[in-house]
Amino acid sequence: MAAAGQESPGGAPLRERCRARRVTYSAVAVLLLAALVQLDVWPITAYRLFSNVRTADGVSLTLWAEGLDGERTDLRPPAGEVLGTTTHLYRQLEHAEPAHARELVSAWLELAGVRRADVAQVVLERTTWRMDAETREKHETGRAVVAVVQP
């Protein structure tokens, strides 16, 4: 209840209308513009959710630590939305400056619990595969080294 002399909650409708239009149309314009120019700067996004067609064929990136003894260790980080999704940064290794690449690789070695001194090199491999529709088994169709980093 508004006290006497104060503006009632229903007052100043013109100002409220201006605010309604400014807020609503700006929000909708930002959403549409981001979708149009494919902008993804969280929380502004183009809303491309599963928008590509999936087929039986796919591509995976794997980061290997090759030990001084020749043994290979998969550096995949622990599952989860914070650490697990850092695999999306793998592709940066392909074009990263050597110092930045070493920094990234050191971080993944740390997460995997691998000592940097025991590693000869870290290799990023791209594997192409085809999935069997009945068994979901992935059959490798190609493999290529994308980047090699000396930690």
Partner 1 sequence: MSAPATGGTPAVTSPPASLPVTPPASPSVLPPVARGPLARALRRAASWVRALDARLVAPGPAWRARWVHAGVAAVVGLRLLTRDWTQLADRPPALRSHLNLVGWVPDLPVAVLVALQAVGVVAAVLAIGRVRPRLAFAVAWAVYVVLAGLWGSSGKFMHNDVLTVTVATVLLCSSPPARDVRADDRSVRWGWPPRAALAVVGVVYLLTGVQKLRHSGPGWALGDNMAWVLRQGTSPLGEGFTLAVANLPALPQLLATGALCLELLAPLLLLVAWTRIPFAVAVAVMHTSIWACLGLDYSAWVLTAAAVAVPAGLPWRPPWSRRRTSTRRQVRAATA
Count CA atoms closer than 13 A to 52's CA, side-chain side: 4
Tell me the closest approach of the beta carbon of residue 34 to partner 1, in angstroms: 8
Tell me the closest approach of the beta carbon of residue 122 to partner 1, in angstroms: 13
CA angle, 36 then 88 then 121, to 5°: 145
- Chain positions contacting partner 1, by CB under 8 A: 1-2, 8-11, 13, 16-17, 19-21, 23-24, 27-28, 31-32, 35, 40-56, 58, 80-89, 92, 103-104, 106-108, 110-111, 131, 133-134, 136
17 vs 139 by CB, closer to partner 1: 17
Task: Please enumerate in sequence order all residues whose Cβ is within 8 A of that of 88, keeping only pairs 6 or more positions apart, or say none.
Answer: none
Tell me the closest approach of the beta carbon of residue 123 to partner 1, in angstroms: 18
13 vs 142 by CB, closer to partner 1: 13
Tell me the closest approach of the beta carbon of residue 111 to partner 1, in angstroms: 7
